[in-house]
A and B are shown apart, each in its own frame.
Chain A
Amino acid sequence: MLSISLVAEEVFTVGNFPVTNSLLTMWIGIVLVSLTVIVGMSRARLVPRGLQLILESIYTFFLNLCESVLEDKKQALRAVPFITTIFLFVFAANIFSIIPGVGSIGFYKGAHESTEQYIAHAAELPPADMPEAVDEAHENSAAVGAGHEGETFVPLFRPASADLNMTFALAIISVVVIQIVGFKSLGIGYLKKFFNFKSPITFFVGILELISEFAKIISFAFRLFGNIFAGEVLLTVMLMLVPYFVPIPFYGLELFVALIQAFVFAMLTLVFIKLAMISHAEEH
């Protein structure tokens, strides 16, 4: 049976702090990205080669992007570290969804330990009144690993973006940065966007702007989480339906989605930063 869990499973605890599989994968991603950058830039040459060339072209790409959106070289130089960091981090978090072993390597946990978190499992199928379902469950659990009935499978790794906690945290960071940039460039006048008592219409528009500021967090978080989680589910279902060859194009699709979503997250943050820097008076 499919083992799809909406929440990240706990792998082990450090003191009282539960370490989930998505957090573990995120740490690995952070270490890998840091190592890549450190190794690539440790022997930096004037004429870049190899890894340094790749890293520098990523940086230049985002510098050009920031410059074209913000229309100011100085501000682009200040924005580009944040934007590039978001891109690299989200990409590193996404790319784990297509690495083999992520989601399939794991261990079995006893049924007595908090099963309510683990869902859609063979063991939870109704036992008595549906004989064929039980047969199917037996077959499937035998396929997954014989003799593990009543236990739940806990994957050791899980893509960090497939955990709503991580995407929500990232969305909050990005929206807070947008507000800070707004206050920095417009001063206290930034609040005029949200609280404007000139006329009832402007007041109402301000309230809408305020709500949309919070809606940004939710849409950021759910876009990334939904895309990567849906990709995971898609791959799991395809692998269950046709185990050989057919899932290969879907891996390509997931690679594309991982790249596009990382870019969309960075790009949207950049565009919202630009919007926060413009006052309403200038707009009209």
Chain B
Amino acid sequence: MEQEGLKLIAMAIAAGFGAIGPGIGIGILVGRALEAIGRNPDAASKIQTNMILGIAFTEAIMIFALVVALIIRFVE
């Protein structure tokens, strides 16, 4: 039972701390992209595509943390 509780805490810590970095990253990324669109609205579609690609890469780091959390929880 104690082991199970420790696992839950470890999972929460892994997923929670893993979300901090990508959260900041996506914030900066989208902020800069919107700034760029504001400066040059004609390039909006190009910037948007690259922004979404960047978000996907940044999000992947969060997903790694999530996978680690799920492995802690579910793999014996």
Contact = CB atoms under 8 A, between A and B. Distances in A.
Contacts of B53: 263-264, 267
A257 to B, nearest CB: 8
A219 B56 CA distance: 13
A116 interface: yes
A229 B52 contact: no
Given A126-B1, A260-B52, A6 B71 contact: yes
B10 interface: no
A4 B74 contact: yes
B13 interface: no
B74 A5 contact: yes
B17 interface: no
A226 B74 contact: no
A222 interface: yes
A177 interface: no
Contacts of A233: 70
A6 B63 contact: no
B71 A226 contact: no
A166 B60 CA distance: 18
- Chain A interface mostly: helix
Given A261-B56, A264-B57, A267-B53, A116 B66 contact: no
A227 B63 contact: yes
A230 B66 contact: yes
B76 interface: yes
Contact of B75 (A6, A230, A263): A6
20 contacts: A5-B74, A6-B70, A6-B74, A6-B75, A116-B76, A222-B60, A223-B64, A225-B67, A226-B63, A226-B64, A226-B67, A227-B63, A229-B67, A229-B70, A230-B66, A230-B67, A260-B52, A263-B53, A264-B56, A267-B53
Interface of B: 1, 52-53, 56-57, 59-60, 63-64, 66-67, 70-71, 73-76
Interface of A: 4-6, 116, 119-120, 126, 219, 222-223, 225-227, 229-230, 233, 260-261, 263-264, 267
